Amino acid sequence: MPFELVPPGTRINFLGQRRICLALSVALIVLGGICALPSVKGVKVGLDFAGGTEVQLLFDAGVAVDESRIRNVIADQGFEDPQVVRFGEAGSAEFNIKFNSVAEDSVAAEAVRLAQKGEDGEADASGLEANTQVLVLENALREQIGGFTEQRVEYVGPRVGAELREDGAKALLLSALAILAYVAFRFSSRFAPGAVVAVVHDLTITAGILVMIGEEFDLRILAAMLAILGYSLNDTIIIYDRIRENMELRTTADLEEVLNDSVNQTLSRTVLTSITTVLALLSLYLLGGEVIRPFAMTMLIGVLVGTYSSVFIASPLLLALETRYGGGKQAPKQGPGVNKAARV
């Protein structure tokens, strides 16, 4: 006998739990919303969307360095509110330094000096161009702390940041529209709203959880969100596909029963696919390195939320929409469905 994760004939009454699930989802969304309030926790926006400069430095072996030393040197240079984070484990000599604006006085003078020296074609009067700032910062650190290798420099100017924000929003919106159109085309327009609401539910909760744990939103997170959008829809579509098939086969049955059966019949597939995806993502999360970790984490959260919503949220949504607006071929027992069946 083959090993069955979900034994055949399993009939869990998923739809019966819909009130609890709905309450849970609403609670999660509200919690995320509360955390997003600036006075509670606020939404942290990463470099890509907020603009700013980030430098990752690996200090040479034997250089005595820690966060506070770096912070002091940077503060002396007039950089405002720099964030210094040690990368990896406690003893590592790798640091991430992030800063936004620069107090004009100290850095500007240095920048002009550098600019006149010839590192800069036209001397920026303000001396605030990020590239120069990085040079100023690195010179100071090298002189006062010790040698290092520049691992990474990222700078996003204000104009680019605004454009990336806009493009990100457009990408999310367009994806949602494309999905809506596809579901409406392949299934019926009655299925589309349920699928889209389920997907929006997944994204909102995932974003909420990211806010709760204080993760920064950047391009990687956006890419993960879009991947979730597609992935979570997969799950929903497969269940909806089965619902459609069952509706055609059993025109007499109670809609709630059909939905429940469909969810149960596809349950092992839903669970199995999530398992393999989660396994791959876990490996990425644990072994993929620092740069990819936020992406892997977002995907992990999204896949789990997406699986939950496909089973517990998408079908109740369909039921609610059908009983309210449907009334067509699949209605509750006492509805016209019975008459139609009698005719067959």
Partner 1 sequence: MKAISVALLLVLFTFLAAANFVSKGERVESDFWPDDGLRLGLDLRGGIHWVVGVELDEAMVRELEFVRDSVEERLESDGVTLMRSAVEDQELVLVLASESDRAAVIEEADDTGVVESSGGRDLVLRYRLTEEWAVDVHERTMSQVLEVLRRRIDDPQRGIPDSVVTRQGDDRVLVQIPGEQIDRERARTLLKSTGFLEFKIVEDSDASRETLLARYPNGIGADQIILSELDPETDAEIGAYLLPQAADITGAYLEDARLQFDQQQRPIVEFRFNPEGGEIFGELTERSIGQPMAIVLDDKVYSAPVIRGRISTRGQIEGNYTADEAADLAVILRAGSLSVPVVIEEERTVGPGLGQDSIESGARACLIGLTIVLAFAIGYYRLSGVFASIALLANLVLLVGLMSLFEATLTLPGIAGLVLTVGMAVDANVIIFERIREELRSGKSVRAAISTGFQKATWTVLDANLTTLFTAVILFEYGTGPIKGFAVTLSVGIVTSVFAALVVTRLLFQLYPGNRNVSTLSI
Interface of this chain with partner 1, residues 118 to 177, rule: CB under 8 A: 118-123, 129-131, 134-135, 149-157, 159-160, 164, 167-168, 170-171, 174-175
Kindly tell me which residue out of 46, 108, 220, 255 binds partner 1, with binding defined by CB under 8 A: 220
Least CB distance to partner 1 at residue 78 (A):
19
Using rule CB under 8 A, residue 280 touches partner 1 = yes
* Burial class of residue 48, CB neighbours in 10 A (0-12, 13-18, 19+): buried
Decide whether 36 or 153 has the Cβ nearer to partner 1.
153
Rounded distance between C-alpha atoms, residue 217 and residue 201, angstroms: 18
- Reduced to 3 states (helix: H, G, I; strand: E, B; else coil), residue 215 is coil
Least CB distance to partner 1 at residue 234 (A):
4
Using rule CB under 8 A, residue 91 touches partner 1 = no
Least CB distance to partner 1 at residue 223 (A):
5
Query: Which ranges constitute the DSSP H helices of the chain?
Result: 18-36, 47-50, 67-76, 104-114, 130-144, 158-186, 192-212, 219-249, 255-265, 267-287, 293-312, 314-321, 336-343
Query: Which of the residues 53 through 72 are near partner 1 (CB under 8 A)?
Result: 56, 58
Using rule CB under 8 A, residue 227 touches partner 1 = yes
Query: Which of the residues 291 through 330 are near partner 1 (CB under 8 A)?
Result: 291-292, 295-296, 299
Residue with tokens 């910062």: 137
Decide whether 120 or 254 has the Cβ nearer to partner 1.
120
Rounded distance between C-alpha atoms, residue 270 and residue 231, angstroms: 11
The site that binds partner 1 (CB under 8 A) totals a number of residues, namely 82
Decide whether 29 or 155 has the Cβ nearer to partner 1.
155
Using rule CB under 8 A, residue 89 touches partner 1 = no
Sole window of 13-21, 248-256, 271-279, 309-317 interacting with partner 1 (rule: CB under 8 A): 271-279
- 211 phi and psi angles, rounded to 5 deg: -65, -45
Decide whether 43 or 278 has the Cβ nearer to partner 1.
278
The candidate with the shortest Cα–Cα distance to 315, out of 261, 250, 251, 234, is 261
What is each CA distance from 171 to 166, 168, 185, 265, in whole angstroms? 9, 5, 21, 34
Rounded distance between C-alpha atoms, residue 342 and residue 337, angstroms: 9
Per 3-state DSSP, the chain is made up of helix, strand and coil in percentages (nearest 5) of 65, 10, 25
Q: ∠116-119-123 over CA atoms, to 5°?
A: 45
Query: Which of the residues 247 through 266 are near partner 1 (CB under 8 A)?
Result: 265-266
Least CB distance to partner 1 at residue 160 (A):
4
* Rg, the chain, Cα only: 27
Decide whether 77 or 277 has the Cβ nearer to partner 1.
277
Using rule CB under 8 A, residue 8 touches partner 1 = yes
Least CB distance to partner 1 at residue 32 (A):
22
